[in-house]
A and B are shown apart, each in its own frame.
Chain A
Amino acid sequence: MELLVASAIGIMTAGGLYLVLRLRTFPVILGMSLLTYAVNVFLFASGRLTIGAPPILRDGVEIYTDPLPQALVLTAIVISFGMTAVVVMISLGAFLGSDDDHVDDLLEEEVTSAEGTP
């Protein structure tokens, strides 16, 4: 089980990193979402893995999973929605304003050569 979760975190991180390094905004946003999953799962896993023991108090039940990482990750998930929405809005605004969804600024020589070509 641990191996599965750890490898899932690793794979999502790798995928996220690769996409974050792309040149257009949309894949970068997707990459950030993937990284968000990875980070959230990682934070959640800091409470270690427990199966079938949710932190809902019941009479006679002694074993519960660690509730604190869950509370922290819960807000992190909601906040990451806000963050994604802002980033999407910014990239959208940039695209609508310049008809270009590149992540990087054009270097100066590229700008001049682009202006030079009809």
Chain B
Amino acid sequence: MSLFFIVALPFLGALLPGLMNGAGRAACAGVTFTVSLAAFLGLMTNLPSVLAGEVVMARVDWMPVLGLNFTLMLDGLGFFFAMLILGIGLLIIAYARHYLARGDNMGEFFTYLLLFQGAMVGIVLSDNILLLLVFWELTSLSSFLLIGYWKHLPEGRQGARMALTVTGMGGLAMIGGMLILGQIVGSYDLSVILQNRELIQADPMYVPALILILLGCFTKSAQFPFHFWLPHAMAAPTPVSAYLHSATMVKAGIFLMARMWPVLSGTPEWFVIVTSAGLITMVLGALIAIFKHDLKALLAFSTVSHLGLITMLLGTGTAFGAMAAVFHILNHATFKAALFMSAGIVDHETHTRDIRRLGGLRTLMPITFGIVTIAALSMAGIPFLNGFLSKEMMLEETTHTTLFGIWWLVPALATFGSLLSAAYCFRLIGHTFLGPVRDNYPSKPHDPGFGLWGPPAFLVVLVVVIGVAPFLAEPFVKLVTASLLGGEAEVPKAYFKIWHGLVPALFMSVAAVVGGLLLMGVFKPLLRVWESTPRPEAKVIFEGLIEAAAALARRFIHTLHNGAFTRYAMIGSVAIIALGLHAWSTGTVGAPTRDPQSASVVAIAGWAMLVAATGGLVVMHRNRLLSLILIGIVGLMVSIGFVFLSAPDLAMTQFTVEVVTIILLLLALNFLPNRTPIESTVLRRVRDAGVAVAGGLATFALAYHYLLRDAVSTPISEFHLANSYKGGGGTNVVNVILVDFRGFDTYGEIIVLGIAALLIYALTETLLSGPVRARLLNRLPDQPRAGDMHPMMMVVLTRVIMPVVLMVGFYIFLRGHNEPGGGFIAGLIVSIAVVMQYMASGFAWTSSRLRYPYHGVIGAGVLIAGFTGIGSWFVGKPFLTSDFTYVRIPPFEKFELATAALFDLGVFLAVVGAVMLSLESFSRLAHRAQDKDSEHPMDIDPSRDDPPEDQPKPVTEGV
């Protein structure tokens, strides 16, 4: 089966358990099992090639420019790990089917489990280190979901968070390390990297890369000082602990160290860091494990200890050490997963995992007792069980390892670690199963059904088989070792056998087992000593660090982001001005290439009005109504300036936008105070004025220099001018650019405009449904109301004008392609025509006569524009390619039909909809409770006999 399928199957299969949830627990577990089994069998189809020593590859270029390719590789090492992941996965799924309680959502659990499985398989089969990183992060995420599966338990949530934080940070470090590695080699493909040992180790960036990658590995594999998260992750359901925290995820770090072994190992840095971290973890983990009363905590720390052992073996950098590591990975996966599952059985049957409340289960749960005994004795290193063999090899390796120049350091610590390890294994058996039967178990214990004990029993069979007949596992372990070594060293010749003769390792082993037994003999006094010695509590330290980091971030943010927007504006303006000044003073300015044009009297007069209006606006801005009039003058002058400077389209747009903006601001001013009070000090105003003048001078200088020099290279506009008629069929180049050359931009812009209008609508809805509504309804006008709010003259005038304006809009729209005009301007003109009706006859009267919701108009506009663009696909052209033709219908002259006109229609509709929706939203706010909706278009109508009852009385005060 293709490697892609093996990786993809769990991910695709992850969709199924959720779907099968309703079909019952057996179906749910069954489909998960089937998916895993399919992947497992797919892996097995590749076994012959792997046994033949081939490397199976599968490759799809993903982002070749970035060096990120979907490349998969299956060699001995990858096969070994993939087999562990999928094989133990099958057992775990079978076990979890019976373990999970009825109340647990099984579909959710198996979905997470398959996601995790896929990510793990992805890690071990990746040939591209960037791809590997992606899968690496996915395991962190999916394990977060699995650890926190019991969401109602605070320990579960905290443990999940802690695991994610620690492994996530390690993952970040590893990204850095991998990127450095890729930079050194010039390729992100693992197969290439593995060929470049000398290049990598000679590079000055080797040490940083090594440290960063090891940070990732150590956090994932719970090596000291990052070992603390693993015991807390034990809040997960037991199948998760057995799967993630004994057999697979915590082995990911080990896997990566093994994978990178050919290129990273063998240097003093590697040796010192990896060996000492492994050694410390091994001893420390074992020591803590002895004194844990929780079965799973004991197993968790023992896992930490064994991971340390494997790490240490990889750290030695010898081929024999690597082989011992591979063998121990296999053995540890078998006995530790069995132990975890057995711990789950004990928990499941007795409802406690506290060793102090157990004991004497030997006769009550004989099958579980048998499984645990074999697995634990294997872990303790008793002959004829597989743990003995790899531990023997480990001790053998340590006798050749000299750390810090002290020959006895490593062997002594390793023996001590083994001693502690034997001790907790004996305690596990003795304190749980041996001893007198108690009468106060939380629940009456008995052996579970086959579904629960079958999977661990299967593993225990493997434990015994490998232990008795190690030659069966030998070829496979050597094959894996060979692929781990990657040709950098010879596979050791040593045979796997139980009896090696009276070698030092044997004596060390005997010492460890005997010492472990003795230690158990004095367990009670030792426990008292242990409990009275103060120890640093990793969780407290971790939470303290997190809290400190959060406090630091809060302080930092509150200092920078204190809610004073004026300050941000000030800092931003000053910074931009300073940057401009810096560029100005360090850059060079060429000589002017354009002659200044003379200004006519009219231009000077317009300029003077603009300046006067701007100045007046600044000086009199406290009177808000006046400042609106003044800014209207500024806008008008800008529009006239556009006319003057050959931009008729701009002038029309600016002018119409000006009208709707002023109406909008007037509507807003209806609610806001009429005056801006004086609040700032004189000093502050002087300071602001200083900044403003500096900014003004800067833009003036920039614009002035700009205007007197030609562009450095020929502008693209020449192309537009040359092709507007030929290619776009229009003589108004601005419009052709909008609807044709840069139609995609315009399309984006009408969408933005539509979104802005919808946002305004949504805000209005929120305001009107909240507490503001009552205030708005009972608001008293702060100005005397006009007696004639909908005057007859205005009503009549706007009615008369309406068809004229619509016709003008239509005309402007149609001629837009060839003369100034187009969808934008026509849209604005039509909007103004409608707004006038609102102004003349009031909101209620007008909106009850409008049949089209403005949202729909926006949507129709965007859709029409979009479909016009899509239409070009049908003739095999890219999106928004326009076409045009000339037709002649007899009574009329020849005229042009262009798809661009259809696009412009979309623009037109979107603009009308957006403008009207914005203004309508504002008007809705103005509706008050005491306003009766009049059914008449005007207040005073001579043709009407009955004066309306709700006619407001003329207000006399203030006259």
List residues of A whose CB falls within 8 A of some B CB. 1-27, 29-30, 33-34, 37-38, 40-42, 44-58, 64-68, 70-71, 73-75, 77-86, 88-93, 95-97, 101, 103-107
Residue in A21, A53, A93 whose Cβ sees the most chain B Cβ within 10 Å: A21
In the complex, the answer to whether B646 meets A55 with C-beta atoms within 8 Å is yes
Q: Given A74-B734, A75-B749, are A1 and B598 neighbors across the interface (CB < 8 Å)?
A: yes
Q: Given A2-B708, A89-B763, are A52 and B646 neighbors across the interface (CB < 8 Å)?
A: yes
A-B contact pairs, 7 of them (CB 8 A): A22-B566, A48-B594, A51-B597, A55-B733, A92-B922, A105-B563, A107-B562
Is the C-beta of B521 less than 8 angstroms from some C-beta in chain A? no
Residues in A with CB closer than 8 Å to B701 are 6, 10
In the complex, the answer to whether B692 meets A96 with C-beta atoms within 8 Å is no
Q: Which of A2, A10, A13, A75 is B596 in contact with, Cβ under 8 Å?
A: A2
Q: Given A30-B631, A50-B645, are A78 and B603 neighbors across the interface (CB < 8 Å)?
A: no
Q: What does the 1/0 interface line of B17-43 toward A look like (CB < 8 Å)?
A: 000000000000000000000000000
Q: A2-B708, A53-B646, A82-B753 are in contact. List 15 more A-B contacts (CB 8 A).
A: A3-B704, A4-B603, A8-B611, A9-B700, A13-B700, A18-B688, A20-B569, A40-B638, A50-B646, A74-B650, A86-B760, A88-B664, A92-B671, A104-B564, A105-B562
Q: Given A10-B703, A17-B573, are A41 and B646 neighbors across the interface (CB < 8 Å)?
A: no
- Tell me the minimal C-beta distance from A48 to chain B in angstroms: 6
Q: Which of B567, B689, B911, B915 is A18 in contact with, Cβ under 8 Å?
A: B689
In the complex, the answer to whether B915 meets A56 with C-beta atoms within 8 Å is no
In the complex, the answer to whether A75 meets B745 with C-beta atoms within 8 Å is yes
Q: Which of B594, B607, B710, B715 is A8 in contact with, Cβ under 8 Å?
A: B607
Q: In whole angstroms, how far apart are the Cα atoms of A20 and B669 in the complex?
A: 18
Nearest-neighbor residue (CB-CB) of B917 within chain A: A85
- Tell me the minimal C-beta distance from B432 to chain A in angstroms: 57
In the complex, the answer to whether B696 meets A21 with C-beta atoms within 8 Å is no
Residues in A with CB closer than 8 Å to B724 are 57, 67
In the complex, the answer to whether A2 meets B704 with C-beta atoms within 8 Å is yes
In the complex, the answer to whether B642 meets A103 with C-beta atoms within 8 Å is no
Q: What does the 1/0 interface line of B758-792 toward A look like (CB < 8 Å)?
A: 01100110110011100110000000000000000
Nearest-neighbor residue (CB-CB) of B910 within chain A: A78
Q: What does the 1/0 interface line of B799-828 toward A look like (CB < 8 Å)?
A: 000000000000000000011100010001
Q: Which of B631, B677, B711 is A33 in contact with, Cβ under 8 Å?
A: B631
Is the C-beta of B406 less than 8 angstroms from some C-beta in chain A? no
Nearest-neighbor residue (CB-CB) of B691 within chain A: A17
Nearest-neighbor residue (CB-CB) of B688 within chain A: A21
B residues 642-685 near A (Cβ < 8 Å) are 642, 644-650, 653-654, 657, 660-661, 664-665, 668-669, 671-673, 676-677, 679-680
List residues of B whose CB falls within 8 A of some A CB. 562-567, 569-570, 573, 594, 596-599, 603-604, 607, 610-611, 614-615, 617-618, 621, 624, 627-628, 631, 634-635, 638, 641-642, 644-650, 653-654, 657, 660-661, 664-665, 668-669, 671-673, 676-677, 679-680, 688-689, 691-693, 695-701, 703-704, 706-708, 710-711, 715-717, 720-721, 724-725, 731-734, 737-738, 742, 745-746, 749, 752-753, 756-757, 759-760, 763-764, 766-767, 770-772, 775-776, 818-820, 824, 828, 911, 914-915, 918, 921-922, 925
Q: In whole angstroms, how far apart are the Cα atoms of A40 and B711 in the complex?
A: 19
Q: Given A23-B680, A74-B653, are A44 and B646 neighbors across the interface (CB < 8 Å)?
A: no
- Tell me the minimal C-beta distance from B509 to chain A in angstroms: 67
- Tell me the minimal C-beta distance from A33 to chain B in angstroms: 6
Residue in B672, B673, B688, B922 whose Cβ sees the most chain A Cβ within 10 Å: B672
Q: In whole angstroms, how far apart are the Cα atoms of A29 and B627 in the complex?
A: 11
- Tell me the minimal C-beta distance from B755 to chain A in angstroms: 8
Q: Which of A15, A34, A78 is B653 in contact with, Cβ under 8 Å?
A: A78
In the complex, the answer to whether B641 meets A15 with C-beta atoms within 8 Å is no
In the complex, the answer to whether B742 meets A54 with C-beta atoms within 8 Å is no
In the complex, the answer to whether B757 meets A54 with C-beta atoms within 8 Å is no
In the complex, the answer to whether A12 meets B721 with C-beta atoms within 8 Å is no
Q: Which of B624, B738, B770 is A74 in contact with, Cβ under 8 Å?
A: B738
Residues in A with CB closer than 8 Å to B597 are 1-2, 49, 51
Residues in B with CB closer than 8 Å to A75 are 738, 745-746, 749, 824
Q: In whole angstroms, how far apart are the Cα atoms of A17 and B574 in the complex?
A: 11
In the complex, the answer to whether B566 meets A89 with C-beta atoms within 8 Å is no
Q: In whole angstroms, how far apart are the Cα atoms of A58 and B618 in the complex?
A: 43
Q: Which of B603, B706, B752, B772 is A1 in contact with, Cβ under 8 Å?
A: B603
In the complex, the answer to whether A18 meets B692 with C-beta atoms within 8 Å is yes
- Tell me the minimal C-beta distance from A86 to chain B in angstroms: 5
Q: Which of A14, A40, A88 is B692 in contact with, Cβ under 8 Å?
A: A14
In the complex, the answer to whether B734 meets A71 with C-beta atoms within 8 Å is yes
Q: Given A21-B570, A82-B918, A89-B921, are A15 and B731 neighbors across the interface (CB < 8 Å)?
A: no
Nearest-neighbor residue (CB-CB) of A50 within chain B: B646
In the complex, the answer to whether A54 meets B647 with C-beta atoms within 8 Å is yes
In the complex, the answer to whether B820 meets A56 with C-beta atoms within 8 Å is yes
Q: Given A13-B699, A18-B692, A103-B566, are A65 and B607 neighbors across the interface (CB < 8 Å)?
A: no
- Tell me the minimal C-beta distance from B697 to chain A in angstroms: 6
Q: Which of B628, B706, B820, B918 is A54 in contact with, Cβ under 8 Å?
A: B820
Residues in A with CB closer than 8 Å to B915 are 81
In the complex, the answer to whether B717 meets A66 with C-beta atoms within 8 Å is yes
Nearest-neighbor residue (CB-CB) of B670 within chain A: A92
In the complex, the answer to whether B731 meets A58 with C-beta atoms within 8 Å is yes
Q: Given A4-B599, A92-B925, A104-B564, are A22 and B676 neighbors across the interface (CB < 8 Å)?
A: yes
Residues in A with CB closer than 8 Å to B759 are 86, 89
In the complex, the answer to whether B703 meets A77 with C-beta atoms within 8 Å is no
Q: Which of A45, A67, A97, A103 is B720 in contact with, Cβ under 8 Å?
A: A67
Q: In whole angstroms, how far apart are the Cα atoms of A49 and B603 in the complex?
A: 13
In the complex, the answer to whether B699 meets A70 with C-beta atoms within 8 Å is no
In the complex, the answer to whether B767 meets A93 with C-beta atoms within 8 Å is yes
Q: Given A9-B703, A103-B566, are A89 and B614 neighbors across the interface (CB < 8 Å)?
A: no
Residue in A42, A58, A67 whose Cβ sees the most chain B Cβ within 10 Å: A67
Nearest-neighbor residue (CB-CB) of A82 within chain B: B756
Q: Given A55-B734, A67-B721, are A26 and B624 neighbors across the interface (CB < 8 Å)?
A: yes
Q: Which of A6, A14, A52, A82 is B703 in contact with, Cβ under 8 Å?
A: A6
Q: In whole angstroms, how far apart are the Cα atoms of A73 and B824 in the complex?
A: 12
